[in-house]
Structure 1
Amino acid sequence: MHSRLFDIRQLEAFAAVMSAGSVTGAARLLGRSQPAVSRLIQDLEADLGYALLHRSGPRITPTSRGLQFHAEVERHLASLTHIRERANAIGLDEPISLTIAATPSLAAGVLPRALAAVSPDLIPRHLHIQALAAENVVQAVLARSADFGIASLPLEHPGLDVHWIADAPCVVALAVDDPLAGNDVVSLADLAERRIITLANPFRLRHRIDEALARAGVAPQRIIDVNSSMTALTMVRVGLGVALVEPATVVGVPLEGIVMRTLDQTIPFLFGAISPAAHPLSPTVAAVIDAARAVALAMPGCRLRELGGDGALAEAIYGNSIVPEGTLS
């Protein structure tokens, strides 16, 4: 591979080809000729020393290396865009652009109301919201490609500052005409013969749900597992089952035809706000983190977990220490 820096036009051409699926489509996106785009891709491959695309007449498909490289190119181009936005904001003495990473449920159920509660003077012209898996939220904050994140636990990492951790009890989501919808509290035992829709990741909320079902003597014979609570709720609405989910999506994005009911057993959904360790918070970031905490605490039964002192973060994750609202900064 040649040691010289890549031409930004090469990277843009490759990203456009990946998005459009063809050189012709990429040329249209970029406002360039097809031969010019082809040449940029060929030069990029020559600089790299390996092929990015398989070519079969007009059809192209990415190589395995091309797929890996594309992920890096996307991050690089996004970073350049953010640098331009921040440079402009600095020149105008405005709040700089902000990137927030959050799990889909928290991006939909908490962030919108948190951002709406922040003073308009603190909101930058450009906001970037990334809905990612919890593990990817952590990685984005560690890599500083996100200014801060909100994700489910665990969040232990020496490169992170944890600002608050909240504990909200999971709920059951039912179709409005479900026989159990008339109950204020639904017993897990009542779900024994039902198809249960719940989240798939066994290392986060799912294992707590499975443990609670086992304690109740419920061994579901029919399960649909999904990677987002919104998907679970839409399946409930069309009668595919009942959903055991965190409350953020149900409260923050209410769907017609769905009701939320309390469970007879507490299944904690633990989540928190994180930023890069020892990295000063801008006024905007600090305000959004505080607002997100307030929105979280408005969910039924939500409480803050204790964070002070050695080993307290592990206690917050695995123990039962609850603190009243307002005691964490």
Structure 2
Amino acid sequence: MTFMHSHSIDIRQLEAFAAVMSAGSVTGAARLLGRSQPAVTRQIQDLEADLGYALLHRSGPRIQPTSRGLRFHAEVERHLASLGHIRERAEAIGREEPLTLTVAATPSLAAGILPQVLAAITPDLIPRHLHVQALAAENVVQAVLARSADLGISSLPLEHPGLDIHWIAEAPCVVAIGLDDPLAGNDVVSLLDLADRRIITLANPYRLRHRIDEAFERTGVGPERIIDVNASLTALSLVRAGLGVAIVEPATVYGVPLEGIVVRAVDQAIPFLFGAISAAALPLTPTVSALIDAARAEALSIPGCRLLETNGSETLADTVYGQAATVEGAPA
């Protein structure tokens, strides 16, 4: 297979390919772009000729991406988004306005903290175009490192020499239970009381989940039935539907309170650690600085939340793992 360079890749070709991937057909893509169907077909054929490999399997009107097409699509989406941001930033510079901003946060922090953070900063610091991305923690880090996000708010651990970590907060996990649950009358719920209940909790074994598992191990019991989810809001919705009790991080529960659910303390310390990150050595705009400060204040409004000393990134691991260990090992 050889790469052919008869034409350079054209933005219109990339738009045509992205539109076909979104619409699932050339007809739909042509409608989305306001172009003729033959034009879209020709643009994709030219793109494939230029790349030297097929992007789509064609079977009558049905179109399926090839495995290379799927991988290339991820790059095209990123490129088109970047071009859109450049256009928005160019317009903002022309108007002497704050530049387009992208904030990446884990789903729980995007729902539970970020709205209040954005509402707390001076309105004229919020740019005309603001992009909020809810991503897995690992993807928040990658977006900040790649500078496709200006600011990240993510659960920890976060260790990377390319990151500036502005603050780290630690807040105790809580139990979310239905209003009519017998345990709703307790101020503090014992994990022993939950052993025979269905537990709804987070799935990622490398983050909060391992702390929850450790807490059950300390009590000498383990839940018999589990539903694991990848977002706290899903867990809370399942509690509301009567499917179990949830052990979750506190940001979503307090930030997006749901009717029919009460929040109670747990008798074991299960710390949730999170922080604000940006690319190392990148000057902070007034908007990003304001968001970092507002996010710190919002974090501290969570009951039982405290800030940890970061002492510079070289001792970050000690701060996160060492302090978490002392809290987890603390008597209930």
TM-score category of the 2 structures, normalised to the smaller one: over 0.9
Is residue 217 from structure 1 mapped to residue 245 from structure 2 by the alignment?
A: no
Q: Give the counterpart letter for 1:2 in structure 2.
A: M
Alpha-carbon distance in structure 1 between the residues aligned to 2:114 and 2:69: 34
**Retained in 2: the 8 A contact 1:191–1:218?**
no
Q: What aligned pairs does 1:202-241 form with structure 2 within 5 A after superposition?
A: 202-241=205-244
Question: SS at the partner of 2:183?
Answer: helix
Work out which of the residue numbers 53, 56, 59 in structure 2 matches 1:53: 56
**Residue of structure 2 in register with 1:18 after alignment:** 21
Question: SS at the partner of 1:202?
Answer: coil
Q: Give the counterpart letter for 1:236 in structure 2.
A: V
Q: What aligned pairs does 1:112-191 form with structure 2 within 5 A after superposition?
A: 112-191=115-194
Is residue 41 from structure 1 mapped to residue 41 from structure 2 by the alignment?
A: no
Q: What aligned pairs does 1:58-77 form with structure 2 within 5 A after superposition?
A: 58-77=61-80
**Retained in 2: the 8 A contact 1:151–1:272?**
yes
Q: Give the counterpart letter for 2:241 in structure 1.
A: V
What is the number of residues matched between the two proteins?
Answer: 321
* 1:310–1:258 CA distance, 2 compared to 1 (3 A): closer
Q: Alpha-carbon deviation of 1:218?
A: 1.7
Is residue 8 from structure 1 mapped to residue 43 from structure 2 by the alignment?
A: no
Structure 2 length as normaliser, TM-score? 0.95
Alpha-carbon distance in structure 2 between the residues aligned to 1:311 and 1:89: 37
Question: SS at the partner of 2:197?
Answer: coil
**Residue of structure 2 in register with 1:28 after alignment:** 31
Runs of 4+ aligned structure 1 residues displaced above 4 Å come to none
**Residue of structure 2 in register with 1:195 after alignment:** 198
Alpha-carbon distance in structure 2 between the residues aligned to 1:144 and 1:76: 13
* 1:309–1:161 CA distance, 2 compared to 1 (3 A): closer
Q: What aligned pairs does 1:96-115 form with structure 2 within 5 A after superposition?
A: 96-115=99-118
Alpha-carbon distance in structure 2 between the residues aligned to 1:256 and 1:286: 34
Q: Alpha-carbon deviation of 1:6?
A: 1.1
Report Cα offsets for 1:92-140 as digits up to 9, x if no partner.
1000010000000000001100010000111100000000000000000
Alpha-carbon distance in structure 1 between the residues aligned to 2:256 and 2:100: 26
In angstroms, what is the RMSD of aligned CA positions? 1.0
Alpha-carbon distance in structure 2 between the residues aligned to 1:310 and 1:89: 34
Q: Alpha-carbon deviation of 1:180?
A: 0.4
**Retained in 1: the 8 A contact 2:103–2:133?**
yes
Report Cα offsets for 1:177-214 as digits up to 9, x if no partner.
11101111000111000000000000000000000011
Q: Give the counterpart letter for 1:205 in structure 2.
A: L
Is residue 93 from structure 1 mapped to residue 91 from structure 2 by the alignment?
A: no
Q: Give the counterpart letter for 1:66 in structure 2.
A: G
Q: Alpha-carbon deviation of 1:309?
A: 5.0
* 1:310–1:130 CA distance, 2 compared to 1 (3 A): closer
Q: Alpha-carbon deviation of 1:314?
A: 1.2
Alpha-carbon distance in structure 2 between the residues aligned to 1:111 and 1:37: 39
**Residue of structure 1 in register with 2:273 after alignment:** 270
Q: Alpha-carbon deviation of 1:5?
A: 3.2
**Retained in 1: the 8 A contact 2:89–2:99?**
yes
Alpha-carbon distance in structure 2 between the residues aligned to 1:237 and 1:302: 25
**Retained in 1: the 8 A contact 2:102–2:130?**
yes
Alpha-carbon distance in structure 1 between the residues aligned to 2:112 and 2:195: 29
Is residue 257 from structure 1 mapped to residue 233 from structure 2 by the alignment?
A: no
